[in-house]
Amino acid sequence: MTNTKNAASLSDWDRQYVWHPFTQMQEWEQEEPIIIERGKGPYLIDTEGRTYLDGTSSIWVNLHGHRHPALDRALKAQSKQIAHSTLLGLSNPPAIRLARQLIALAPKGLTRVFYSDDGSTAVEVALKMAVQYWQQRRPEAGPKHRFLHLHLAYHGDTIGAVSVGNIELFHARFRPLLFPTQAAEPPYCYRCPLALKYPACRLACLDPIERILREHGHELAGFIIEPLIQAAAGMITQPPGYLKRVRELCTRYEVLLIADEVATGFGRTGSMFACDREGVTPDLMALSKGLTGGYLPLAATLTTEEIYRAFLGKYEEFKTFFHGHSYTGNPLGCAVALANLDIFRTEHTLAKLTPKISRLSRLLKPLLRLPHVGDIRQQGFMVGIELVRDRATREAYPVEARVGHRVAKEARKRGLLLRPLGHIIVLMPPLSVNIPTLTRMVNILSHSITVATQYD
């Protein structure tokens, strides 16, 4: 544990030098920061020695707990070989082995792996591949360079990823930098824009999407979607059959399906990839977050042999995919990612996860009796709890109420760290968490919601 003097210095230095993401720094400078120094299993430990449950898997990246021995060993062993060498004109054993294993696990039909650094860059790769693919496959047919996405989408913070996003709070001020896109309403069943209910609706929310594809398919390079659940949008779950129908529509209208599995991949929805749940193979699939089990930044974009072969040709034809990153295929990250995938096999992670998902559903159900819980959305180990001012009318809390922040502060007092999405409380524990710890997380969450909303 850092001594008190050093901890005070770190707090002062943090406020003086560090600019935190998605953080109003004027408020941050007035508060005492929590400085995480260590971790073990589902716990985070700060410089004061206080222990917290990691309720969001350190923003959705940690799978098997902190300081997993196999991941520690893989990182240490690779550091004795080499930390990094470029993938531009060279290769390295961990990157090769990882690509082979990812293809073995991925939906059937994906055959090639392109590495990058994080979720945003994996999406950027997919967007650029889609545009160039159509240029080289069908140059005579006119440009197919636009994209379809869902409203409330979040696919990252780089310019291409923001262009196919639609969270006004995050993206509106950058609109002058963005390229034009087509957008469709998401299947937000709790606040259905068509005022219908599932399953009687028969997925009517797909009708506008089909109209867009039919009318604009000639100019659309791809439809990008988070399969099964829109995470940063507020954990908006898609009804069964929605993803499969999207795949069928994209095929019919010759638009590439881009699956953003950055948040949903590696067990979060109960299967290795969310696309597996409906037997869907996308044309491009972006991966990151859980790829290294929460240890190092690494991303990958997977694609089909058809798309890959459209980039083959003589040097002077310039069909090359002119895109790359300094740390593409980083050996340290790839070595840890290999160990991460090995843990899934040796510890039977997905099989053990199934009963925990069921238990989590049962634990969450009583929260629906709380007066300000409007909706609970769950897809595997991804949970969003929408808080409302009035449950009968579904009236939302105003921004200035900061209800999510209030709940997170109450939970922190009780040893649970959360990161809400406005008025939506997110719970996304590590896959390795045991049922007693999961029960404790939900109990703290329930109590914190009760206390934070008792006077509303």
Backbone angles phi, psi at 336, to 5 degrees: -70, -35
Say how far apart CA 24 and CA 35 lie, in whole Å: 17
Distance CA 404, CA 418 (A): 9
Residue 28 within any structural domain of the chain: no
Please count the helices (runs of H) and the strands (runs of E) in the chain.
Answer: 15, 17
The reply to whether 210 falls in a domain is yes
Judge if 275 and 293 occupy the same domain. Answer: yes
Long-range contacts of 308-312 (CB under 8 A, 24+ apart): 308/111, 308/112, 310/132, 310/133, 310/136, 310/137, 311/132, 311/133, 311/136
CA dist 230 and 224 (Å) reads 11
Residue 20 lies in a domain: no
Whole-angstrom distance, CA of residue 322 vs CA of residue 250: 26
Give the residue from 346, 371, 388 where a domain finishes: 346
Q: Is residue 126 part of a domain?
A: yes
Looking at the fold, whether 188 and 329 belong to one and the same domain comes out as yes
Q: How many structural domains are present in the chain?
A: 2
Cis before residue 355, ω within 30 degrees of 0? no
Instruction: Tell me the C-alpha distance between 64 and 396, whole Å.
Output: 35
* pLDDT attached to residue 8: 81
> Which of these, 121, 102, 114, lies nearest to 307 by C-alpha position?
114
Question: Using H for helix, E for strand and C for coil, what is the string for 82-134?
Answer: CCCCCCCCCCCHHHHHHHHHHHHHCCCCEEEEEEECCHHHHHHHHHHHHHHHH
This prediction has a pTM of 0.97
Pick from 313, 346, 379: which residue ends a domain? Answer: 346
Judge whether 11 lies within some domain: no
357 in the same domain as 300: no
Q: Give me the phi and psi of 28, to 5 degrees please.
A: -55, -40
Q: What is the pLDDT along the chain (456 residues), one digit of tens a residue?
A: 677 678 789 999 999 999 999 999 999 999 889 999 999 999 999 999 999 999 999 999 999 999 999 999 999 999 999 999 999 999 999 999 999 999 999 999 999 999 999 999 999 999 999 999 999 998 877 789 999 999 999 999 999 999 999 999 999 999 999 999 999 999 999 999 899 999 999 999 999 999 999 999 999 999 999 999 999 999 999 999 999 999 999 999 999 999 999 999 999 999 999 999 999 999 999 999 999 999 999 999 999 999 999 999 999 999 999 999 999 999 999 999 999 999 999 999 999 999 999 999 999 999 999 999 999 999 999 999 999 999 999 999 999 999 999 999 999 999 999 999 999 999 999 999 999 999 999 999 999 999 999 998
Smallest CA-to-CA distance from 57 within 327, 371, 278, 295 is with 295
Query: Both 335 and 359 in a single domain?
Result: no
Nearest to 8 by CA among 30, 26, 35: 35
Question: 255 and 167 in one domain?
Answer: yes
Per-residue confidence (pLDDT) for residue 138, from 0 to 100: 83
Query: 335 and 286 share a domain?
Result: yes
How far apart are the C-alpha atoms of 233 and 378, rounded to whole Å?
14
- Note whether residue 87 is domain-resident: yes
Which of 346, 370, 388 is the C-terminal boundary of a domain? 346
CATH number of the domain to which 434 belongs: 3.90.1150.10
**Segment (H or E) for 73:** helix 69-79
**302 and 158 in one domain?**
yes
Answer whether 36's CB lies under 8 Å from 44's CB. yes
Question: Domain residues for 436?
Answer: 34-64+348-452
One domain, residues 281 and 367: no
User: Cβ of 105: how many Cβ atoms within 10 Å?
Assistant: 15
Residue 16 counted as domain residue? no
Is 403 found in the same domain as 273? Answer: no
CATH number (domain holding residue 91): 3.40.640.10
CA distance 401 to 412: 18
Is residue 112 one of the residues assigned to a domain? yes
Give the helix, strand, coil percentages of the chain, each rounded to 5: 45, 20, 40
Q: Are residues 54 and 199 in the same domain?
A: no
Q: At what angle do helices 435-452 and 403-413 cross, to 10 degrees?
A: 130
Task: Examine the domain organization and report whether 164 and 185 are in the same domain.
Answer: yes
Residue 131 amino acid letter: V
Do 188 and 242 belong to one domain? Answer: yes
